[in-house]
A and B are shown apart, each in its own frame.
Chain A
Amino acid sequence: MSGIQATRKSNLNTVQAIWRIYPFAKHALPRISLGMIAALLGSVVALLIPMVLEKLVNGALAQRDPAEIWPAVAIVLGLGVVEAAMIALRRWFVLLPGTTVEAKMRNEIYRRLQDLPVAFHDRWPSGQLLSRMMQDLNMIRRWLSFGIVLLVVNVLTIVIGSVILFTWHWLLGTIFLVCAIPVWIYGYMFEKKYSIVARRSQDQAGDLATNVEEAVHGIRVLKAFGRGKHALEGFSVRAEGLRGVEIEKAKAIAGIWYWLILLPDIGFGLCLVAGIWLASQGQINVGELFAFFATAIVLRFPIESIGFLLSMTFDTRTAVDRVFEVLDEVNTITDPEHPETIESPQGRLEFDDVHFRFADSPERYPDLINGVNLVIEPGETMALVGLTGCGKTTLTSLTTRIYDVTGGAVRLDGVAVQNLTRGELRRNIAMAFEDATLFSASVRENVLLGREELDLDSDEAQRVLDEAIGVAQAQFVHDLPNGVDTTVGEEGLSLSGGQRQRLALARAVAAAPSVLVLDDPLSALDVDTEALVEAALRRVLASTTALIVAHRPSTVALADRVALMQDGRITDVGTHTELLGRNEHYRFVISSLEDEEKREREEALQ
C-alpha cells in the first residue's frame, strides 16, 4: 500500500547512522558526557561499597573497638550519599539534552514536511510521517538520555571490572574473558538479524497508523456502507502482522540474552573449579578468591544489560534512518537563489507552452498538461472548462507552484513563477480549492489566513473580513455560537460542505491577491446562494485577474472569456457565446439545455 514499504537500510554502519543526529545533539554532548561521567562514578562507587564494607568489617570492627564504629558508619554513609548524588546528577545532566534534542528534531521534521512539495505528500501516507514524528523521535530521546549513557557506562564498568579480575589472578581473568568472546561474535550476527526485523516493525507500525487515520477520516463512507467490519478485518490483518514481527523481534532478543546469561555463568563455574585448584596449589588465598567472585558478581548485571541496550541501540538506528528518510528528501520546489520581485503587480498570468507530468507516470502516457498556451490579461476573468480529469485542477496548481511545470513556463507579470519566492508568489495569487479545508481556528482567522500582515483585531481586518463574508454570502457565521470568533475546523464546529466552501471562497477573496484562482468554487451552493455569490463576485472580479474552473454555465457566466481544455491542451479560447456557437466539444461539455428541452418536450407529449 505504501511506496516506502520496501525495507531500506542505509549503507552506513550503526555508529555512522546514528551520528547523523549530531547537528541536533551538538549542544547536548557536553551534558551527555558529564552524565556519563556521573554515571561511571556512580557505578564505581557501587563497585566499591561491598569492598569497603568488607574491609571495614574485617579490619576495623574485628578489633571490637566501639570507637571504630562511628567512622566506619560515616564512610559507608558518605559513599552512599555519593552514589545517590551521582545518580541524581546523571539524571539531571541528561534530562535537558534528551528532551531538547527530541523537540528540535520534531520541529525540524515539521518544518521540512511543510516545505516539501505536495507531490511528496501525495506519495507518503500520513501515518508513516506521524509515526516518524512521534514514535521514532521518542525512541531517539530515550536512547540519548538513557541508552547511550548506560551502554557506555556498562561497557566501561565491564572493562574496569575485568581488569580488576586480572589483578586477583591472571588465569581466572583469562577464563572469564575467553568465555566472553562468543558473546561478541553473536552480537555481530545479532545486529544483522535484529536490524531487519526492527525496521520492519517500525514500518508496520507506521502503516498501522495510516490505517487508523484513514478509518477515521473515511468514517462517513465506512458507516454509509456499513463496512466497519470490513475495515476492522483489514486492520486486524495488519495488527496481526505487526504482532508477528514484534514476536520475531523478541525471539532475536531472547537469542542474545541466552548467551549473555549463559556465558558469564559458565565462566563463573569454570573459575570456581579453577580457583579451588589454584588455592590448593597455594597460588591464591581464600580471601582473594572471595574478592574475585564479589567483583565478578557485580559485573553480571552490566553484562546482561548489554543485550537490552544493544537492541535499543539498533532500534534507535532504525528510527534515525526513518527520520532521515524524511529529512534527506530533496525538495524540488524551493525558492530561487536570486529571487526577482514584481514591483507593482498587475496580475497578468501567462502560460507559455506549459507541460506537466507526474514523475512516476509511465512513458506511454502523454504529458498531463501538454503544451498549454494561454494569457489572462490584468483584470480579466477566465473560465477554464473541460471534462473531469482533463487537467484543469492540475493547471491551476501550477500557478502557485503546488506542482512545478516540467516544461515551458508560467509567468506572472512577465516573471516566471519559479523566479519568485514562494511567499511572494502565493501572496499575489490566492486559491480556493474544491475540497475546502478549514483549520482549527476561529472563522476570523480562517478567512484572514492570507493576510498575515493584518492585525486580527484591527478595524482594517474587520472591514476585510466583513467584505469577504459579504462576497461569499457567508453571513451564516454571524448565527454561530460565537459569531466570527467561533472555532471551526476539526477542533471546532463542523460545518456543511456548502458552508465550508463559502468560507474558503471568502478566504481567497480576503487575501486581496492580484490573481484569484478558484477551483469550481460554487459547486456545493444552492441556486439562490450561487446567484448572490456571483453578483458579489462580479464586483470583486472587475478589478482582479481570475482563473475559474467551471462545470456549470452559471459559473461560466462570471467570466469574460472561456478557455476550453481537452486532454491537457487548451483547444479554444473565446467568449461563452462565441464558443457555444463554433465549438461542438464546448457545447457537449457545458450545455444541458438541449437535454432539458428534450425532456420537457417528452413530458409535454405524455
Chain B
Amino acid sequence: MSTATVRGVTGEEREDLTKEESRQIRRRSMRLLGTLLKPLRLRVIGTMVLVIISTASSVAGPALIAFGIDTALPAVLERADWMPTLGVGVLYLVTALAAATFMASYVVASARVSQAVLLDLRLRVFQHTQKLSLEFHESYTSGRIISRQTSDLDAIKQLLDEGISQLVNGILYMGFTFAALFLLDWTSGLVVVGSMVPLYFLTRWFQKRSQRMFRTSRVMSARVIVHFVESMTGIRAVKAFRKEKRNEKEFGRLVEDYRDINARTIQLFGIYEPGIIMIGNLAVAAVLLIGGFRVVEGHLEIGALLAALLYVRRFFDPMEEMAMFYNAYQSAAAALEKISGVLEEQPSVPDPVSPVDLWSAKGKVTFDEVTFAYNDETTVLPSFSLGIPAGQTIALVGSTGAGKSTLAKLISRFYDPSAGAVTLDDVDLRQLHPKDLRRAIVMVTQEAYLFSGTVADNIALGRPDATREEIVRAAVAVGAHGFIDGLPDGYDTDVNKRGGRVSAGQRQLISFARAFLADPAVLILDEATASLDIPSERLVQEALQTLLADRTAIIIAHRLSTVAIADRVLVMEHGRIVEDGTPADLIGGEGRFAQLHAAWRDSLV
C-alpha cells in the first residue's frame, strides 16, 4: 500500500481510509504527542506522583473506617480503651488533609502540563503554517488553518483538562480495589478478570466506530468554520448581492451535518457507557451466584462474600470516568491527526540546510535557465535567462496572465523554479539564509493587507526595531504622512479590522511606507500603485526615484507612468520575455511596447 495517500493534508477529508492508512495517521499523531510530552516528562512524572498520593490517601479512608468499626469500636466496648478511636480519628484527619492538599496541587500541576503542551502545539502550528509556502496556502484555505488552530486545539484541550486525572485516578482506584479483592478472595478476582473479555470487545467496537466518526466530526467542524470565515470576510459582497438567505441555507446545511455527526458520536458513547455498567453489574451478579454456592457449601464466609461483592461493585465505579476519558481521547486523537497532517507538510520552498550568509546585498539578480511550472502540464514560464545588474530599475509590462507576477514571485522566493536557478549576488536563493533573503528582497503587492493595531505598527512591520522618527520619515517619503497626521490619533490610530476606515489608496501608501522602511537591496512592486490617485502616484514616483537610485527594482504596473523611472523595460507575453530594452528605444520602435505606450499616452489628459 502506498503511504503517500495520506501524507500531510492529502486525503484529509476522506472517510474511506484503509486500515493501513488509518494506522499510519494515528501513529503520526502519537509521534507528535510523544514529542510534545517528552520535554515535560519530569513534570508529568511529578504530576502522576501527586495524583497517586492523593488517590492513595482517599482510598485509605474506607480502610480507616473499617478499622474503626472492626477494631477501635470493640476496644471501647470491651476495654473502654479510647486510644485506637482517637488514633484512627486523627489519622483520618491527616489523610483527609493529605488527599485535599495533593489533589489541589495536582489540579494546578496538571493544568501546567496541559497548558505547556497546548502552548507548544499552538506555537508549532503557527510557526509551521508561516513557514509553509504560498502554494500550500493557496490550496489549503485560511478557514481550515484557522479551524486547525482553534477548534481542533480545543478538542485536545478538553482531553488534557478533564481526561488525564480521570484516567490516572481510575487506573489507580481500580488497581487498589482489584488487589484488595484478589487478596480477599481470588475466585471472585477471576470472575472480574473474566469480565474483561466482553469489555475488550465492546471497547474495540467503540474504538473503531468512534475513530471514524470523530475524524468526520473534525472535517465537518472545519467546513463550518471555513464557510463562516469566508462569509464574514466578504460581508460587504454578501450584503450587496443579497446572499444572506442563500448563505443561511448553506450554513444551516453545514451546521446540520456537524450536529448530526456530533449527535452520532454522542449516541455511540451512549451505548458504550451503559454497556460497561452492564458488564460490571453482570460481574457482580456472577460473583454473587458463584459466591452464594460456595457459601452454601461452606467454602466461603458470609462476611467475605459481602466484602468481595462490594469490591467488585467498586471496581467498576471508575469505569464510567475511564470511558469518558477514552471518548475525549478519541476526539483529541482525531484532532491531533489533522494537526499532525499540517505539521507533516513540507514547505515547497524549504529553508536551506546550510545557509549562505549575505550581510550586505548589492542587488544583482540573475535568472539562469529558469523554468517554472505548477505541474507537468501547465508550464507558466518556459526556460529563460535574464540578468539584472545591481541598481537597475526594471519595468515589467504585459497583459494579465503573461507571467509577470510569477517572475516577481520567483525573485522574492515565494516559489522556487522548477528548473534552473535564481541568484542574488551570485548566491542561489535556495542557499541564501532566509533572514538575509528577506532583508535584501522585499515585495509590495496590490493587496495591501493591514494587521489590526496602529498605523505605526503596520509601517513598522517593515523593520520592527524602527524608531518613531524613522517610521514618520518613511511615511513622509511616500507621501502618506499627510493623511496619517489627519487621523484621530495620528500614527497611533487603530486601523481596525482589515483597515476598515482607511481607503484602499491609503492602505497602499501605508504598505509603501512599510517597504520604504524595510530598505531592501531589491524592491519588487507588483501593481503596488493601482489604487492610488494621480497626485499620490506622483508623490510615490518622486519618492521612488530617490529610493531606487541605488537599488535594484522590478516594477509591474499597468499605468505606464511608472516606466518613466525605469532604466529598462521587459515586455512579457505568454510567459516569455518578448521585448527588452530602454524605454526610449522601445517607444521609438514598432513593437508591442510602442503600441501599449501610445494607447496609454492617448488616455492621458
Partners in one complex: yes
Within 8 A of A (CB), among B8-25: none
Q: Mark B59-92, 1 if CB is under 8 A from A, else 0.
A: 0011011001100110011001000011011101
Which of B130, B282, B444, B604 makes the CB contact (< 8 A) with A228? Answer: B130
Which of A61, A84, A254, A553 makes the CB contact (< 8 A) with B604? Answer: A553
Interface residues in A, total, Cβ within 8 A: 190
Residues of B within 8 Å of A337, CB to CB, are: none
Which of A228, A258, A431 makes the CB contact (< 8 A) with B100? Answer: A258
Within 8 A of B (CB), among A48-77: 49-50, 53-54, 56-58, 61-62, 64-66, 68-70, 72-73, 76-77
Q: Main secondary structure on chain A at its contact with chain B? A: helix
Asked if B383 is at the interface of the complex by the 8 Å CB criterion, the answer is no
A297 touches B62 (CB 8 A): yes
A268 touches B65 (CB 8 A): yes
Residues of B within 8 Å of A490, CB to CB, are: 141-143, 226, 230
Q: A58-B306, A98-B266, A107-B255 are in contact. Are A593 and B605 (CB under 8 A)?
A: yes
Which of A114, A213, A528 makes the CB contact (< 8 A) with B596? Answer: A528
Residues of A within 8 Å of B538, CB to CB, are: 592, 595
A-B pairs with beta carbons under 8 Å apart, 23 shown: A57-B306, A80-B282, A91-B269, A99-B259, A103-B255, A129-B232, A141-B262, A225-B462, A231-B130, A280-B76, A289-B73, A297-B65, A388-B504, A388-B532, A393-B503, A423-B242, A430-B241, A434-B531, A491-B230, A497-B530, A499-B401, A527-B560, A553-B604
Which of A208, A272, A450 makes the CB contact (< 8 A) with B88? Answer: A272
10 closest Cβ contacts across the A-B interface? Answer: A226-B438, A80-B281, A388-B505, A265-B96, A250-B111, A91-B270, A269-B92, A122-B500, A262-B100, A69-B292
Minimum CB–CB distance for A71 against chain B, Å: 10
Asked if A79 is at the interface of the complex by the 8 Å CB criterion, the answer is yes
**In the bound complex, CA of A85 to CA of B271 (Å):** 10
B238 touches A114 (CB 8 A): yes
Asked if A452 is at the interface of the complex by the 8 Å CB criterion, the answer is yes
Q: Mark A95-120, 1 if CB is under 8 A from B, else 0.
A: 11011101100110011011100100
Residue of A nearest to B256 (CB): A103
A524 touches B533 (CB 8 A): no
B240 touches A431 (CB 8 A): yes
Residue of A nearest to B600 (CB): A527
Which of A68, A220, A293, A520 makes the CB contact (< 8 A) with B504? Answer: A520
Asked if A215 is at the interface of the complex by the 8 Å CB criterion, the answer is yes
Number of residue pairs spanning A and B whose beta carbons lie under 8 angstroms apart: 537
Residues of B within 8 Å of A111, CB to CB, are: 244, 248
B274 touches A87 (CB 8 A): yes
Which of A126, A262, A265 makes the CB contact (< 8 A) with B232? Answer: A126
Which of A210, A224, A511 makes the CB contact (< 8 A) with B452? Answer: A210
Asked if B122 is at the interface of the complex by the 8 Å CB criterion, the answer is yes
Which of B251, B292, B527, B605 makes the CB contact (< 8 A) with A72? Answer: B292
Asked if B145 is at the interface of the complex by the 8 Å CB criterion, the answer is yes
**In the bound complex, CA of A161 to CA of B405 (Å):** 75
Minimum CB–CB distance for A225 against chain B, Å: 6
B228 touches A133 (CB 8 A): yes
Interface centre among A69, A249, A277, A580 (most CB of B within 10 A): A69
B150 touches A209 (CB 8 A): yes
Q: Which one of A19-27, A167-175, A358-366 is at the B interface?
A: A358-366
Which of B103, B449, B500 makes the CB contact (< 8 A) with A218? Answer: B449
A53 touches B259 (CB 8 A): no
Minimum CB–CB distance for B268 against chain A, Å: 10
Q: A123-B496, A497-B447 are in contact. Are A261 and B96 (CB under 8 A)?
A: yes
A527 touches B599 (CB 8 A): yes
Which of B130, B273, B313, B438 makes the CB contact (< 8 A) with A50? Answer: B313
B232 touches A121 (CB 8 A): yes
Minimum CB–CB distance for B136 against chain A, Å: 10
